C-alpha cells in the first residue's frame, strides 16, 4: 500500500500542476478524522482557492473530475467524494489495501525502515552519577533514550548512545566519606554519622567489599580495593567502580546498552573547559563583575547573563556542559539529543547560548532536549516511596524484579515524557486486556499459535492470492498496517516513542477484532492462505514495533480468564 500511496501522490501532484502551475508541492494526503469518510483526505483545493480567489468547492469539483480520469486513480481508487467547503475524500479499492501485506512480508524486520541518510547523531541518556542505585526516574530515561535511538535508526540515522557522568565533585566526595564511615564501623543513627551522608544499605555493601579487598569491574573501569580504611582516595575509586558495576547490571537487566561512557573529569584534564572559557573571552562574550566571570547569554535569548567562573575560581556546572557539547559537535554528531529530568530545564538556554557564543557553526537549537518528569509507583493500592537498599527511593531493579523488563519499558514509554505517570505494579502483572503490554504481546502470541497450528512455510505466503481479503475487519487491519512507516517517522521527528505504544495497542485491537470476526484455518485453501498472509504480516509489524520499544514479542502466552 505504500507503493500505491506514492503512485497516487504522484498522480495528484501531476493533476494539481495541470490545474494550477506551481502547485505540485501541495500534493498530500491526510487521514480522515472519521474512518467512514474514506481512507485518504485531500485539502489542496481549499489551500489553493484562497490565493487564487476562487470558490474552493468549485476548484475541488474540477480537481475531482481530473483525478477520476487519471489512470492511476482509476486503478487503485474505488470512489472520490467531495465534502464540506472543499474536502476531497478518497476510498481505496480492496486490492490497494492488500498490497501492504506483500510489502510487510517482503521487508520483514526492515518494514518501516528508511534508507540511510548518511548522518551521525548522539543520544545522551541516563547519565547517572555513580552515587547510588539507579532509581525509577533513571529507568524512564533509559526506556526513552533507547527507544528514541531505535526510532532514529529506523529513519536511516547512524546512532551513538552515550552515558555522561561526574566521577568527582561533592556527591562523589560524600559517597567516599559515607563508605569510609561504614568501613570504620559507624552506621546511620550514630552520633558520628553526618546528616548529609548516604544511608542506604548499599553503602554497607560497598564498605564490606572494600574491607574484603575485592576487585570490581564495570564497562568503563576496574579497581581492586586496598582494604585500608584511612585511604579515602582508594575508597572513592573503589566505590565509583562498584556503583558503575551495579549500574551496568541494572542496565543489562533493562536491555539498555551504551557505546561510550564519557567522564566529566576528562573535560578538565584535557583542557577543554579552560579552552572554551578562553574562546568565549577572546570572542568578547564574557565580562568580569563582582569578582566573577559572566557569559553574555542574554545576547542569545537567555533571560539573564550567567556566571561562568565564581569568585573562588571554580566553574559553574553549565561550563563543562558547553565544553562537552562542543566535543560532541567536533566528533561529527550533527544532531544531539539529551534525555534529562525536568529539573534540568534551566540549563537549556545557557548551554545553547554558550554554544552560539563559541561561533563554531553549531546550529541554533543544538542540542535537542527531551525532559521527563519523575514517576510514582503504586503497589497493592498504596504508593511505594522507598527501597530498603537505596534508603530513599524505589530503584529500577525493584521495579524490574516486581514485574518484568518488558512491562517496565512499555509502561514507562506509554505517556509523553513531560507528563506525570503512576506506575501500577499490580496492573503490570495482570494477564488480561487491562494490561496494555500484555494485550499487545498476546496479539503476537495468538498469531504465532495460529501459524504454528497451520505448520506451513510463512515465506511462501508472500506469493498467495490476497483477493479473499475483503471483509471490513480485514480491510481495517490492512489500513492499520500501512500506517506503521509514517508513524515511525512522525514519532522520531517528535521524540515521541509513546506514539509507538498507542499504535501497537490500536493494531492489537484491529487484530483481535479480525480474529473474532473471521476464522483463519478454514477448509477453503485460497481463503485460508490469504488470511494466513494477513495475520503473518500483522505479527511482523507487532514484532517490529515492540522491537523499537525494546520489548519482546513472545510466541506463547497464557491469559487469565476474567
Q: What is the DSSP letter of 324?
A: H
Is residue 210 in a domain? yes
Q: What is the mean pLDDT of the chain?
A: 94
Pair (74, 178) in one structural domain: no
Cβ distance 374 to 141 under 8 Å?
Answer: no
Cβ distance 451 to 458 under 8 Å?
Answer: yes
Is residue 158 in a domain? no
Cβ distance 123 to 163 under 8 Å?
Answer: no
Q: Could you list the residue range(s) of the whole structural domain that residue 65 is in? A: 2-92
Tell me the C-alpha distance between 66 and 72, whole Å. Answer: 11
Strands 87-92 and 120-124: unpaired
Is residue 311 in a domain? no
pTM exceeds 0.75 for this model: yes
Pair (438, 544) in one structural domain: yes
Is residue 367 in a domain? no
Determine the pLDDT at residue 339. 97
Strands 87-92 and 40-42: antiparallel
Pair (545, 436) in one structural domain: yes
Is residue 133 in a domain? no
Pair (437, 539) in one structural domain: yes
Tell me the C-alpha distance between 418 and 343, whole Å. Answer: 11
Is residue 51 in a domain? yes
Q: Hey, what's the cell of 369?
A: 532536549
Cβ distance 356 to 285 under 8 Å?
Answer: no
Tell me the C-alpha distance between 11 and 362, whole Å. Answer: 40
DSSP state letters, 469-536? --SHHHHHHHHHHHTHHHHHHHHHHTT-THHHHHHHHHHHHHHHHHHHHS-SS-S-HHHHHHHHHHHH
CATH of the domain at 74: 3.30.1360.70
CATH of the domain at 495: 1.10.730.10
Determine the pLDDT at residue 562. 41
Q: What is the DSSP letter of 342?
A: G
Query: What are the mean pLDDT values of the chain's consecutive 10-residue runs (562 residues total)?
Result: 88 93 92 83 91 88 94 95 91 95 97 96 96 94 98 98 92 96 96 94 96 96 97 97 96 96 95 97 96 96 95 93 98 97 92 97 97 94 79 88 97 96 96 96 97 96 96 96 97 98 98 96 97 98 98 86 45
Point out the domain boundary residue: 225, 253, 281. 253
Determine the pLDDT at residue 33. 79
Tell me the C-alpha distance between 510 and 504, whole Å. Answer: 10
Q: Establish whether the linkage from the previous residue to 367 is cis, with ω within 30° of 0.
A: yes
Dump strand ranges (E) for 17-60.
40-42
Residue-wise pLDDT for 345-390, tens only, equals: 989 999 999 999 999 999 999 999 999 998 999 999 999 987 666 6
Determine the pLDDT at residue 560. 56
Tell me the C-alpha distance between 82 and 88, whole Å. Answer: 5
Is residue 335 in a domain? no
Determine the pLDDT at residue 388. 61
Pair (85, 191) in one structural domain: no
Pair (541, 442) in one structural domain: yes
Point out the domain boundary residue: 68, 92, 116. 92
Is residue 457 in a domain? yes
Whole-number Cα distances in Å, 271 to 275, 277, 355, 360? 6, 10, 17, 18
Q: What total of structural domains would you count in the chain? A: 3
Longest CA pairwise span in the chain (Å): 90
Coil, strand or helix: which one is 109? Answer: helix
Distance separating the N- and C-terminal Cα atoms of the chain: 38
Determine the pLDDT at residue 38. 87
Strands 260-263 and 158-165: parallel
Q: Which of 90, 58, 89, 50 is nearest to 74 (CA)?
A: 90
Point out the domain boundary residue: 253, 284, 306. 253
Amino acid at each position: 500500500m505504500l507503493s500505491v500511496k506514492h503512485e497516487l501522490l504522484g498522480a495528484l501532484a501531476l493533476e494539481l500542476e495541470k490545474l494550477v502551475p506551481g502547485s505540485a508541492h501541495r500534493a498530500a494526503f491526510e487521514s480522515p478524522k472519521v474512518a467512514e469518510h474514506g481512507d485518504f483526505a485531500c485539502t489542496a483545493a481549499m489551500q489553493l482557492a484562497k490565493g487564487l480567489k476562487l470558490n474552493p468547492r468549485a476548484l475541488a469539483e474540477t480537481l475531482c473530475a481530473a483525478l477520476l480520469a487519471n489512470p492511476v486513480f482509476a486503478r487503485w481508487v474505488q470512489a472520490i467524494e467531495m465534502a464540506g467547503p472543499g474536502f476531497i475524500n478518497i476510498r481505496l479499492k480492496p486490492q490497494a489495501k492488500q498490497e501492504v501485506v506483500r510489502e510487510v512480508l517482503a521487508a520483514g524486520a526492515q518494514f518501516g525502515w528508511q534508507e540511510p541518510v548518511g548522518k551521525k547523531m548522539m543520544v545522551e541518556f541516563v547519565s547517572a552519577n555513580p552515587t547510588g542505585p539507579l532509581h525509577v526516574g533513571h529507568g524512564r530515561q533509559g526506556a526513552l533514550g533507547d527507544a528514541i535511538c531505535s526510532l532514529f535508526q529506523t529513519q536511516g540515522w547512524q546512532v551513538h548512545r552515550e552515558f555522561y557522568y561526574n566521577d568527582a565533585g561533592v556527591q562523589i566526595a560524600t559517597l567516599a566519606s559515607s563508605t569510609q564511615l561504614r568501613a570504620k564501623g559507624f552506621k546511620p543513627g550514630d552520633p558520628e554519622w553526618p546528616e548529609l551522608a548516604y544511608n542506604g544499605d548499599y553503602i554497607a555493601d560497598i564498605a564490606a567489599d572494600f574491607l574484603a579487598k575485592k576487585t570490581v569491574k564495570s564497562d568503563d573501569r576496574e579497581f581492586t580495593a586496598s582494604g585500608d580504611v584511612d585511604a579515602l582516595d582508594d575508597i572513592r575509586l573503589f566505590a565509583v567502580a562498584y556503583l558503575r558495576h551495579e549500574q551496568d547490571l541494572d542496565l543489562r537487566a533493562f536491555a539498555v546498552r551504551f557505546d561510550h561512557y564519557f567522564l566529566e573529569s576528562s573535560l578538565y584534564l584535557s583542557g577543554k573547559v579552560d579552552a572554551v572559557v578562553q574562546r568565549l573571552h577572546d570572542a568578547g562574550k564574557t565580562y568580569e563583575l563582582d569578582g566573577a566571570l559572566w557569559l553574555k547569554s542574554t545576547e542569545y535569548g537567555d533571560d539573564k547573563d550567567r556566571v561562568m567562573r565564581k569568585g573562588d575560581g571554580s566553574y559553574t556546572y553549565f561550563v563543562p556542559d558547553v565544553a562537552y557539547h562542543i566535543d560532541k559537535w567536533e566528533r561529527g554528531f550533527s544532531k544531539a539529543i539529551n534525555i534529562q529530568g525536568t529539573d534540568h530545564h534551566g540549563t537549556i538556554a545557557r548551554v545553547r547560548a554558550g554554544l552560539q557564543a563559541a561561533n563554531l557553526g553549531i546550529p541554533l537549537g543544538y542540542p535537542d532536549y527531551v525532559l521527563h518528569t519523575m514517576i510514582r509507583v503504586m503497589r497493592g493500592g498504596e504508593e511505594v516511596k522507598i527501597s530498603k537498599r537505596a534508603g530513599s527511593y524505589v530503584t529500577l531493579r525493584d521495579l524490574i524484579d516486581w514485574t518484568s523488563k518488558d512491562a517496565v519499558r512499555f509502561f514507562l514509554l506509554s505517556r509523553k515524557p513531560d507528563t506525570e505517570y503512576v506506575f501500577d505494579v499490580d496492573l503490570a502483572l495482570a494477564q488480561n486486556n487491562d494490561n496494555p503490554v500484555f494485550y499487545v504481546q498476546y496479539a503476537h502470541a495468538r498469531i504465532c499459535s495460529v501459524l504454528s497450528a497451520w505448520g506451513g512455510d510463512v515465506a511462501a505466503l508472500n506469493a498467495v492470492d490476497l483477493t479473499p481479503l475483503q471483509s471490513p475487519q480485514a480491510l481495517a487491519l490492512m489500513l492499520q498496517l500501512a500506517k506503521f512507516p509514517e508513524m515511525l517517522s512522525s514519532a522520531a521527528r517528535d521524540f515521541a516513542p509513546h506514539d509507538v505504544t498507542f499504535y501497537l495497542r490500536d493494531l492489537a485491537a484491529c487484530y483481535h477484532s479480525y480474529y473474532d470476526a473471521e476464522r483463519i484455518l478454514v477448509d477453503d485453501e485460497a481463503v485460508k492462505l490469504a488470511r494466513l498472509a494477513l495475520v503473518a504480516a500483522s505479527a511482523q509489524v507487532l514484532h517490529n514495533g515492540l522491537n523499537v520499544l525494546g520489548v519482546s514479542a513472545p510466541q506463547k502466552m497464557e491469559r487469565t480468564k476474567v
